[in-house]
A and B are shown apart, each in its own frame.
Chain A
Amino acid sequence: MNGQPNLANKINNYGTIVGSYFPSATSGNQLGYKRYSNGGIVTLKGPTGARSTVPYGINNVGKVVGAYVTSTSVQKGFTYLNGAYTTFYHSGWSFLQPQAINKQGVIVGSYLDSSSKTHGFAYSNGQWVTVNVPGASDTVILGINDWGSMVGWYLPKGASTSRGFLYKNGTFSTVEYAANPSFSVDGINNLGHIYGDASGTSFIGKACHSI
């Protein structure tokens, strides 16, 4: 977009994609966009006072979720629907990064605690839940489907390489690709199909089962 770096994040069932871009070569701040399947693009400047805005997720009613940076450099979450923004924030957490939203409005993402450890979170109707993969030093949730299954990556304690995970029916599992742990699982759809990354390869996984 306009010759500057741009990032595409989630896509919904209508083919609408959200992402962000740098409006100029000298700008360190980002603007969000919502790109419809017909090629039309709407710029998302973020809530009032936003200095930088990055939409990360979109559900099938077109509700967008993302992060914005305030004029005082605090990173908060926002949703956007029909031209209106709402904001959310948890005191004591920093770098709040909402990544995805499902049909029920459950928002998932990550935040940084006071010890610089990253945790996953789920947020709905003003209620927050911290979600950590068992045995992980850091957890990042990147996707959630309408059934409540979640994906993302985690860093096992003492390890330097991340592993992709799937949370389904109350169980966390490391997602293996070619008999090795994947690096990250970035998204999951309502059929349970996952999209992620392994060494030098991106993948779509179907019919996932325990091993």
Chain B
Amino acid sequence: MQRIFHIALVPAAMLAIVMAANAQTGKVTCTYTSFKVLQGSQRGAGGINDSDWVSGSVQTGTPMDDGRFRAETQGNNHDVSSERPTEPCKQDQ
């Protein structure tokens, strides 16, 4: 059951989300690049930026987790705590 609050006051940026109330669930597929991290990624942790750099975490021991990022163009996994991106990035705030 979809529940929607404050429909009349929803900002414009959220209108498209509100419109999902009666949506159905179809299927999509994509052109995929697959990769494996050391011992399996942690589901639900991570992201992807517009350069296709991926961040996330892997379980490297018990119960050790390690933050990682992966540069799509390099195909390697990097440890957040010890590696730097080899491409310069502008620094945000």
Contact residue among A19, A36, A82, A206 (Cβ-Cβ distance under 8 Å from B57): A19
Q: Is the CB of A189 within 8 A of B49?
A: yes
Q: Are B44 and A184 in contact (CB under 8 A)?
A: yes
Task: Name the prevailing secondary structure of the A interface residues.
Answer: strand
User: Count of A residues near B, CB < 8 Å?
Assistant: 88
Contacting pair B93 A187 (CB below 8 A): no
Distance in angstroms between the alpha carbons of A175 and B29 in the assembled complex: 6
Inter-chain contact A203/B33, CB cutoff 8 Å: yes
B56 touches A202 (CB 8 A): yes
B-side interface residues toward A, CB under 8 Å? 1-6, 9-11, 13-14, 16-20, 23-37, 40-57, 63-69, 72, 80-81, 84-85, 88-93
Cβ contacts A to B, 26 pairs, < 8 Å: A6-B57, A7-B42, A7-B57, A8-B46, A9-B55, A9-B56, A17-B69, A37-B84, A81-B93, A106-B13, A129-B18, A130-B5, A134-B25, A148-B16, A148-B17, A174-B27, A174-B28, A184-B43, A184-B44, A186-B46, A200-B40, A201-B36, A206-B30, A209-B28, A209-B30, A210-B26
